[in-house]
Amino acid sequence: MKIFISYIFIFFIPTFTHALVIEDARHLWSRTGFSNSEFILNDYSNYSRNEAVALMLNSGSYTEPVTTLLAFDDDLYFQAKNKNIPFKDRREIKRSLKKSDRKKMIEWWHREILSSDNALQEKMVVFWHSHFAAQPGKVLIPYMVEQNQIFRKNALGSFKDLLYEVMHNPTIHQFLDNTKNTAKKPNENLARELLELYTMGEGDHYSEDDIKNLAKALSGISDDYNTKKTKVNYKRKDNSFITLFGYTGTIGMDKAIELILDHPNTSKFIALKLWREFVSSDPSSDKLNQLSRLFHKSNYDIKILVSEILNSTEFWNEKNRNNMIKSPFDLIVSSKIIIDFPSSDLLNLPAKMQKSGQKLFEPPDVNGWLGGRRWINSDLIIARQILLGQYLKKVVKFYKKVESNPNALEKAVDRAESEKYQYFSIGSSIKNNPNKRLDKRIKAVLLDHRFNFK
């Protein structure tokens, strides 16, 4: 019996201590944000899959922005909200602020992406930004910048904390007209999307009555520019007794969030979205239930859930590799690491990414970016090639101007053409022609059609 047990133990060791090979390293690297952590690019063979996952997740722990946060003209924003100022004047102030600060906000995040070493954090900020999608057309810019910091701080933290902070930030309330939701004039927009898009997903886990009652719980909310948070006007709030998910009483926003987090479909829905983000195909019902239970039991710890996903046999399965299409964001951050571009020069990046189907801070609608095959069509393919082509053109121009290191461009080319980095770029090697110009040798790698996949 002892011998039999020993054989069983030995048989299961590879599952948990599987040594990382280059194919594994590339898969983990591409699915977790194209990190420039040296261990995944250079020392992967020293680690098991489990150890690599742990190191990757630790490398994605919260770090403050490396670029200077934006400063806003608070006096003008207060004037825009001052009802003692004529409406036409307030409207003109808002229009002027939106035009100038919108551009600054978008450029700030793109610059942070190009400057940050925390690739996994940036990936997760984009993920949560798409999950809680909002556009600056209806929202004050400082609120959206504050929301971005909420995503950043909670990227791999607690979904419970993330949801509370997002709901106490005015962005989502302004975007979905919840600031117009009062006892006398109910507005169900946020209540519906809070259940359908942000927590439970579509289905029969809630009724129309739940939506109506949730709208009552979310009524009377407005914004406080001093704190950049929401506040409640109890004269406009619906204080009637309601029943929401089995609880009856006078319910406010915090109690409603608590009831939503207690609902079993919330942990299941978020687990499913994160599975699709990292693995691509839907998990089995048993796997999803297991992940959901783990997520709920962990008090909604995102890092624990993602760790479980990345350590699953499904994540490492060959059929789930190199079959996801990179977003425009993915294209830029993966190329940045491969060619070791140190500059935070924006090079018209927001406009180029928008033409490729993704403009950060401006998702297409409340559903965010749906991704997948939607990143690819005849127009977007051309736009993606132009995006990378223009990016590389700027990179080459930058390297040629590096006075302190005249061989910088050659080093970038050597890196892109090395067997290892080329493998991380496109999954295999291509025939290099040393007689071509240096910029064309970089393009040969990054404009290869295989670079579109991760």
Please give the residue that has the higher pLDDT: either 216 or 15: 216
How far apart, in whole angstroms, are the C-alpha atoms of residue 34 and residue 113? 12
How far apart, in whole angstroms, are the C-alpha atoms of residue 159 and residue 302? 6
In this prediction, residue 342 carries a pLDDT of: 67
Do the beta carbons of residue 339 and residue 415 sit within 8 Å?
yes
In this prediction, residue 10 carries a pLDDT of: 41
Q: Give the distance, in angstroms, between the CA of residue 229 and the centroid of all CA atoms in the same chain.
A: 22
Q: What is the DSSP letter of 325?
A: B
pLDDT, tens only, 29-50 = 999 999 988 899 999 999 999 9
**Of 4-8, 88-92, 141-145, 240-244, minimum mean pLDDT range:** 4-8
How far apart, in whole angstroms, are the C-alpha atoms of residue 105 and residue 359? 12
**Percent of the chain whose pLDDT exceeds 90:** 73
Q: What is the mean pLDDT of residues 390-408?
A: 76
How far apart, in whole angstroms, are the C-alpha atoms of residue 414 and residue 150? 39
Please give the residue that has the higher pLDDT: either 215 or 349: 215
How far apart, in whole angstroms, are the C-alpha atoms of residue 229 and residue 306? 29
Count of residues in the chain: 454
Q: In Å, how far are 2, 4, 51, 314, 316 from 9, measured between CA atoms?
A: 11, 9, 20, 22, 21
pLDDT at 188 over 90: yes
Position 13 confidence tier, pLDDT thresholds 50, 70, 90:
very low
In this prediction, residue 443 carries a pLDDT of: 87
pLDDT at 345 over 80: no
Backbone angles phi, psi at 230, to 5 degrees: -80, 160
Q: Model pTM? A: 0.93
How far apart, in whole angstroms, are the C-alpha atoms of residue 59 and residue 201? 30
- Give ∠ CA 412-416-421 in degrees, rounded to 5: 125
Q: Give the distance, in angstroms, between the CA of residue 31 and the centroid of all CA atoms in the same chain.
A: 12
Position 11 confidence tier, pLDDT thresholds 50, 70, 90:
very low
In this prediction, residue 410 carries a pLDDT of: 84
pLDDT at 418 over 70: yes
Sign of CA dihedral 167, 168, 171, 176: positive
pLDDT at 15 over 60: no
CA-based nearest residue to 270, from 232, 233, 309, 325: 309
Q: Which long-range contacts (CB under 8 A, 24 or more apart) does 409-414 make?
A: 409/438, 410/438, 411/340, 412/339, 412/340, 412/341, 412/442, 413/438, 413/441, 413/442
In this prediction, residue 192 carries a pLDDT of: 98
How far apart, in whole angstroms, are the C-alpha atoms of residue 126 and residue 154? 12
Q: What is the mean pLDDT of residues 1-23?
A: 57
Do the beta carbons of residue 108 and residue 326 sit within 8 Å?
no
Residue position matching structure tokens 């709030």: 237
- Which of 105-114, 300-309, 329-338 has the highest average model confidence (pLDDT)? 300-309
Q: What is the residue-averaged pLDDT of the chain?
A: 91
In this prediction, residue 406 carries a pLDDT of: 63
CB neighbour list of residue 125: distance below 8 Å, 6 or more residues apart: 148, 151, 152, 155
In this prediction, residue 8 carries a pLDDT of: 44
* Backbone φ/ψ region at 223: left (φ over 0), alpha (ψ -120 to 50), beta: beta
Q: Are strands 221-224 and 242-244 parallel, antiparallel or unpaired?
A: unpaired
User: What residues does each domain of the chain span?
Assistant: 2-59, 264-320, 328-452
pLDDT, tens only, 67-104 = 999 999 999 999 988 989 999 999 999 899 988 999 99
Q: What is the DSSP letter of 117?
A: S
In this prediction, residue 180 carries a pLDDT of: 96
**Of 48-57, 110-119, 141-150, 393-402, minimum mean pLDDT range:** 393-402
Task: State the Cα torsion 57-290-321-58 to the nearest 10°.
Answer: 0
**Could you give the 3-state DSSP secondary structure of residue 162?**
helix
Query: DSSP labels for 385-447?
Result: HHHHHHHHHHHHHHHHT-TT-TTHHHHHHHHHHSHHHHHHHHSS-----TTS-HHHHHHHHHT
How far apart, in whole angstroms, are the C-alpha atoms of residue 95 and residue 130? 25
**Percent of the chain whose pLDDT exceeds 70:** 94
Do the beta carbons of residue 155 and residue 128 sit within 8 Å?
yes
Do the beta carbons of residue 348 and residue 397 sit within 8 Å?
no
pLDDT at 407 over 90: no
What is the Rg, in whole angstroms, of the alpha carbon atoms belonging to the chain?
24
pLDDT at 313 over 90: yes
Q: Are strands 229-232 and 221-224 parallel, antiparallel or unpaired?
A: antiparallel
Do the beta carbons of residue 424 and residue 338 sit within 8 Å?
yes
Q: What is the mean pLDDT of residues 289-318?
A: 98
pLDDT, tens only, 118-152 = 999 999 999 999 999 999 999 999 999 999 999 99
pLDDT at 404 over 80: no
